[in-house]
Amino acid sequence: MNLSSCKIYIMTDMEGVSGICSEDQCTRDKPGYDQGRIWLTQDINAAIAGAREAGATEFVVNDGHGSRPHILLDQLESEGVTYEMPKSGAQYMPGLDETFAGVFIIGAHAKAGTRDAFLDHTQAPLGIFDFQVNRRSIGEIVQVAIIATHARVPVLMVSGDEAACREARHDLRAVKTVSVKIALGRQRARALPPVVAQQKIRAAARQAVRSRAACRPFPIRLPAEVKIVFQRTDVADLHTNPHLKRLDGRTITYPIRTARDLLWV
């Protein structure tokens, strides 16, 4: 691959950002939120710096945490960087295409129901009990990997809490992970100081770009069946699209023809 055109797509979330140890710090208008935004932006900058050291030159940064925007654009690295926000459906990572060498996920969290995971959830914390593709239970990390598969792009690196890193290594071949904290139950964590965590993110990003040939797009058999088990029947009631099938009080399914349609509901 021509290093002069190496592009990295950076998907972000907030629960797994360095230094964030309470839900307030990733919730708009709560105490500590302003600090959480700074650490989010610094984590992204660390990843960009490391990737640049390995030859990456262009970056698209996706402000993925709910109730966006959160990233401080005037503090974000600027050279070769553009910014976007996700929508549901086929627009989750709108700028990602076949020209990218890989995806980083910064600030990741584990899927709903994971033990010893900081703020584990899948999409809305009170909405989804389990999200399955072809009968395999997955969280947001693998969702990103599957959508990236549509552009034939692999996930190269994940940073987040220890549980998110474990999940990434379990599901994604040759991915580099950076654990920035360990959950103490769902609501608290013991974290590295952000400056230390960001040194690790920078080093892992550098290695991830250098060794990207070992990674592969996530394998998915298509067309696929998505099954969502909601926590409550009234949340399932909200999904009335005729392409969905309601299996029981809590459960819907829908078919997808392409990986990009994963979050189509």
Token pair, residue 2, equals: 């021509």
Helix (H/G/I), strand (E/B), else coil: 167 = helix
Cβ proximity to Zn ion: between 24 and 237 the closer is 24
State how far Cα 33 lies from the chain centre.
19
Token pair, residue 211, equals: 């060794």
Cβ proximity to Zn ion: between 62 and 149 the closer is 62
At its nearest, how many Å lie between Zn ion and the CB of residue 15? 5
Show contacts with Zn ion in window 27-86 (CB under 5 A): 65
Cβ proximity to Zn ion: between 85 and 203 the closer is 85
- Contact between 167 and Zn ion (CB under 5 A)? no
Q: Which of 13, 120, 130, 261 binds Zn ion (CB under 5 A)?
A: 13
At its nearest, how many Å lie between Zn ion and the CB of residue 246? 27
Cβ proximity to Zn ion: between 118 and 254 the closer is 118
At its nearest, how many Å lie between Zn ion and the CB of residue 23? 10
Bridge-based pairing of strands 102-108 and 136-137 is unpaired
- Contact between 140 and Zn ion (CB under 5 A)? no
- Contact between 260 and Zn ion (CB under 5 A)? no
In the chain, DSSP assigns E strands to: 7-12, 58-62, 81-84, 102-108, 128-133, 136-137, 155-161, 176-183, 189-191, 224-230, 245-246, 251-256
